[in-house]
Homo-oligomer: A and B are copies of this chain.
Amino acid sequence: MAKDRKIDMVILGILAHQDSTGYDIKKSIDEGIRFFWKGSFGSIYPALTSMESQGLVRKVESEKEGRGKIYYSITEEGRDNLRQWLTDERTSNELRFETLLKLFFGGNVKPEVTIHNIEVFEEQIEKELVFLKMCKDNLSRVLDEKDHLYFYLTASFGVDTCESYLKWCKESKALLKE
């Protein structure tokens, strides 16, 4: 049984879609799931090494001696592992919003400080929303490919959530300005 390390599952999921280098994996994370997951080189490379020794992934022989670039491919055992995790009901969902922490403790500073904090949050979310809408839009045009419906639903979640955040920001600022 594989460890419960989530980065392993992220990597397996990405490799199940297409062979990738560690560098590619980092990009896939940053571009595809950054709204709800992060990953650094410092976790990706060691994970690849340990997963190779477990037989979950394997190095693809670099054609034309691509030198330096190391592509990884998922093995059948890796796919089994991935499916097992996907089927497992135990799922942890965590929010870690420092903005909400600062809001909760807002009574210790002037209301303007909290209003400003909300505005900073608002700007972050507005940027994220632009990005997510673009993803959703692009995906809506290629829904014929199997995996894309899932990518689309994920992007939709992000869009809906961000819009809900922004609505709350406006209402809260109004309440604080009273």
Contacts of A36 in B (CB 8 A): 95-97, 100-101
Closest to A105 in B: B13
With A6-B98, A98-B93 as contacts: A103 and B172 at CB distance below 8 Å: no
1/0 per residue, CB under 8 A from B, across A149-178: the answer is 111011011001101110110011001100
A53 contacts B by Cβ under 8 Å? no
Cβ 8 A contact of A103, one of B83, B108, B114, B153 = B153
Q: A119-164: which have CB < 8 Å to B?
A: 120-121, 124, 146-147, 149-151, 153-154, 156-157, 160-161, 163-164
A117 contacts B by Cβ under 8 Å? yes
Could you list which residues of chain A lie within 8 angstroms of chain B, going by C-beta atoms?
A: 6, 9-10, 13, 16-17, 32-33, 35-38, 79, 82-83, 85-87, 89, 91-109, 113-114, 116-117, 120-121, 124, 146-147, 149-151, 153-154, 156-157, 160-161, 163-165, 167-168, 171-172, 175-176
Which are the 9 A-B pairs with shortest beta-carbon distances?
A: A164-B164, A13-B105, A107-B147, A106-B150, A36-B95, A94-B96, A36-B97, A91-B98, A93-B97
